[in-house]
Amino acid sequence: MATLPVILTLARSPGVCTYVYDSFQIEAPFLPKCRGPGDASNFDDYEEEPLRISGTEKCSKEFAEF
């Protein structure tokens, strides 16, 4: 069983919106087999595109102190 968070809208009027946060348990329809934290066997293999690095920095001023 998994616990899922749910946000329900209770009342809505101009300028006011009341939300209720609740959780409930449901049974998962499918549980993939996982051998460990680094197991990626449930994902498809694909060819990765090479990383393209720009010759110019477009946002150098914005990230000068980053």
- Please, are residues 26 and 6 in contact by the beta-carbon 8 Å criterion? no
pTM across the whole model? 0.34
First to last CA, the chain: 43
Amino acid at 17: C
Q: What is the pLDDT of residue 29?
A: 83
Per-residue pLDDT of the chain (66 residues; tens, 9 = 90+): 666 666 665 656 666 666 666 666 777 788 888 899 889 999 999 999 999 888 888 888 888 887
Which pLDDT score is estimated for 39? 92
Contact 18, 10 (CB under 8 A): yes
Question: What's the confidence (pLDDT) of residue 9?
Answer: 59
Look at residue 62 in the predicted model and tell me its pLDDT.
86
CA 27 to chain centre: 21
Residue 60 CA neighbour count, 13 Å, CB half = 5
